[in-house]
Amino acid sequence: LILINHFPLREDLLMLPRIPRFSIWCGTKATEDWHRRYPVAAVVYGHLHIKATHFRDGVRFEEVSLGYPRDWDEGLGVAAYLRQILPAPKTFLSGGG
């Protein structure tokens, strides 16, 4: 099972490197434990515009945003922006815990 949502399902996944004390949480606490309540292989979300991989309770959380246009490098090609969800890749983007 893969959970897909626009917003992160957990507030602790919201960290803006440039503004660490600012919270952009706009979700609900009701989704915080879905990765434990259901047999989830991965959780995929966007909204933050900061690609990252996080793990909570052994479940992978993938922030798959493309970023803002100013962050794009056309020279990299589209493959640089794609993310493998299943099967789980051997390496992950850094993003913390």
Per-residue pLDDT tens for 35-90? Answer: 999 999 999 998 888 888 999 999 999 999 888 888 889 899 888 888 899 998 88
**Residue 88 lies inside a defined structural domain of this protein:** no
Number of domains in the chain: 1
Positive/negative CA dihedral, 82, 87, 90, 92:
positive
* Structural domain contains residue 71: yes
Tell me, yes or no, whether 76 lies in a domain.
yes
Distance CA 47, CA 75 (A): 24
Residues in contact with 25: Cβ distance below 8 Å, sequence separation at least 6, in sequence order: 11, 14
Task: Evaluate whether residue 96 is within a structural domain.
Answer: no
Identify the pLDDT of residue 24: 67
Please check whether residue 47 lies inside any domain of the structure. Answer: yes
For residue 65, tell me if it sits in a domain.
yes
Question: Which domain range does residue 17 map to?
Answer: 2-81
Task: Reply yes or no on whether the pLDDT at 32 is more than 70.
Answer: yes
Is residue 89 a part of any domain in this protein? no
Question: Which pLDDT score, from 0 to 100, does residue 17 have?
Answer: 65
Q: How many residues does the chain have?
A: 97
- Name which residue leads in pLDDT, 31 or 47: 31
